[in-house]
């Protein structure tokens, strides 16, 4: 089986929601069953320059940094990255992206002080279509995700160190975004086993691609 057009699918959720695991599993599944043309990427990041910006945003900025500096860096990374995404979509790839515009709305607007109008304006400069084709929101209780993060053998970054209270605020923001974008955003609970969550993810994506 193949596909004759590109699809832009994003994964969203709070830290420790299992995005990276599930997106990698989906990528292998699609490559095996649907098409070899799958492009797995992430934000902030995805290109040489955008990965450099990612390091600045995650490692060098802190909660005292100017929120506009953070926003402009995130959009600078996205402008570079979206050129590559567009190129892949034009070549009929399925693009799977770990975080995208909904993260900006959840973190910089709902959990930050940036107006939605500003985010939407900048987003449209980069991507006139503005939104991905499909978004999978992996929903999880922050208490569970926090314990997962602490079990990882990885140095914690400033986002991983967020309190459960703040993570709850971001979770609610994502759920609100899902409610406002019912056609595009599918909420999948990550309280099940890794395998069951993957089955749910695969079913939703196949349903969308075969529509
Ligand atoms: P990520 O590596 O996906 O975090 P994790 O794997 O722990 O879920 O993303 C890095 C951080 O960047 C994430 O905590 C949220 C933040 N971020 C924003 O604040 N705004 C954005 O627009 C994006 C894309 C990410």
Distance separating alpha carbons of residues 3 and 208, to the nearest angstrom = 12
Residue 2 has pLDDT above 80, yes or no: no
From 58, 103, 136, 137, give the residue whose CB has the most ligand 1 atoms within 8 Å, as the site to mutate.
Answer: 103
Averaged confidence pLDDT in the chain: 95
pLDDT for 83: 97
Q: Which atom of ligand 1 is nearest to the CA of 98?
A: 3
pLDDT-above-90 percentage for the chain: 85
Distance separating alpha carbons of residues 198 and 211, to the nearest angstrom = 20
Residue 156 has pLDDT above 60, yes or no: yes
Q: What are 116-120's contacts with CB under 8 Å, separation 24+?
A: 118/71, 119/71
Tell me the mean pLDDT in the region 111-129.
Answer: 96
What tokens appear for 173 in the block?
């923001």
Cβ atoms of 138 and 206 within 8 Å: the answer is no
Residue 155 has pLDDT above 90, yes or no: no
> What pTM did the predictor assign?
0.95
Range with the lowest mean pLDDT among 62-71, 76-85, 115-124, 157-166?
Answer: 157-166
Which residue, by CA, sits nearest to atom 19 of ligand 1?
107
Tell me the mean pLDDT in the region 139-164.
Answer: 87
């Amino acid at each position: 089986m193949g596909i004759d057009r590109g699809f832009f699918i994003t994964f969203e959720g709070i830290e420790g929601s299992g995005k990276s695991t599930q997106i990698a599993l989906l990528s292998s599944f699609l490559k095996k069953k649907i098409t070899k043309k799958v492009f797995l990427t992430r934000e902030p990041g995805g290109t040489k320059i955008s990965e450099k910006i990612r390091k600045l945003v995650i490692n060098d900025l802190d909660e005292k940094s100017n929120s506009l500096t953070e926003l402009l860096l995130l959009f600078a990374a996205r402008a570079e990255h979206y050129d590559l995404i567009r190129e892949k979509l034009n070549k009929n790839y399925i693009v799977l992206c770990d975080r995208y515009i909904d993260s900006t709305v959840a973190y910089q607007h709902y959990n930050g002080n940036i107006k939605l109008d500003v985010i939407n304006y900048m987003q449209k400069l980069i991507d006139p279509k503005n939104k991905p084709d499909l978004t999978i929101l992996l929903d999880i209780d922050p208490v569970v995700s926090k314990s997962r993060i602490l079990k990882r053998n990885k140095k914690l970054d400033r986002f991983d160190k967020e309190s459960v209270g703040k993570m709850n605020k971001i979770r609610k923001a994502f759920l609100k975004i899902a409610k406002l974008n019912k056609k595009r955003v599918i909420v999948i609970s990550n309280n099940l086993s890794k395998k069951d969550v993957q089955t749910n993810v695969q079913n939703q994506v196949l349903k969308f691609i075969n529509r």
